[in-house]
Amino acid sequence: MNLGDRFAWQGFSLPVGGEWRPAVLSGTQREGYVRLEGEREAVIQVRWKASKPVTGINRRVLAYFSQIERTAKRSRQAFRSNIDILESGAVDYEWHAGAKGYGRMWFEPEARRVMFVERSGRSGDSFKREARELVDSVECHTGSPIPWSILGVSVWLPANLQLSSFKLLSGRTTLVFKRRLEKFTVDRWAFASQLLAKHDFCGWAVAATGIKADCEVGKDGIRLNKGRRTALVMHDQERNQLLVINAVHSRAHAPQWDFFD
């Protein structure tokens, strides 16, 4: 699957355009929370939690409604809601207060997680159809590899690599993954044409990765090898960005070109 404009994180993905920016990214594949913010106070929330098979998802939705209703009462806002239990056991819902939201909660059997996805925004805006299309398009990724896609980074990595840290800076996105004694750092650098106007591609790759070795230049980009260190460097001219996988790895787990989406 080509990720395109999908946001992919911790074993799930959903379609979002470039106007959505990450505001909160927390947790692991077992449990976590993501909040994406768009224009006009628009919000997408995703929550997930590892679980044994569950029934009665509607009770969890009602507990969530109780939280929203308490907040609405403190602001003296009217609250109303509705739920629709699907044949699969998933629950589609909507709520209206000072704002409004449309979402779905379900148990994902292959990932063995309870998933919650919601699109919310201002009460005067119309986005119910968009919200339903969003939740219909969510995919959970099990097996290996799994996708990671955020702010220009789009890669498929082995599932047993665990996200260790990340930095989302202006012009640069960095994701760091670890597995025992192995470490994979994925970088996306913006403004590639400006960077390469000052440095030749090979020289920039050596400086950016810290691997002082001869560049193996291929149609996909540059590979650098030195001992247990391997880096792949790709120039994405269409998006004017440089993509780097810089790995400390075992002999069996060197990064391959198909890691890039």
Over residues 80-120, the pLDDT tens digits come to 999 999 988 999 999 999 899 999 999 999 999 999 999 99
Q: What is the pLDDT at residue 1?
A: 59
Asked if 100 and 120 count as a contact pair (C-beta separation under 8 A), the reply is: yes
pLDDT at residue 260 greater than cutoff 80: yes
What does pTM read for this prediction? Answer: 0.92
Percentage above 70 pLDDT, the chain: 99
* CB burial readout 95-116, b (16+ within 10 A) else e: bbbebbbbbbbbbbeebebbbb
Instruction: List the single range of 28-32, 220-224, 243-247, 253-257 with lowest mean pLDDT.
Output: 253-257
pLDDT at residue 163 greater than cutoff 80: yes
pLDDT band at 5 (very low <50, low <70, confident <90, very high): confident
Distances, alpha carbon 154 to alpha carbons 4, 125, 175, 204, 259, in Å: 8, 31, 11, 21, 9
pLDDT at residue 76 greater than cutoff 70: yes
The two tokens of residue 115 are 């998933």
- Pick from 181, 156, 165, 159: which is nearest to 245 by CA? 156
The two tokens of residue 13 are 């993905």
Asked if 16 and 6 count as a contact pair (C-beta separation under 8 A), the reply is: yes
3-state secondary structure of 207: helix
What is the average per-residue pLDDT within 230-234?
97
pLDDT band at 252 (very low <50, low <70, confident <90, very high): confident
Peptide bond just before 145 cis, omega within 30 deg: yes
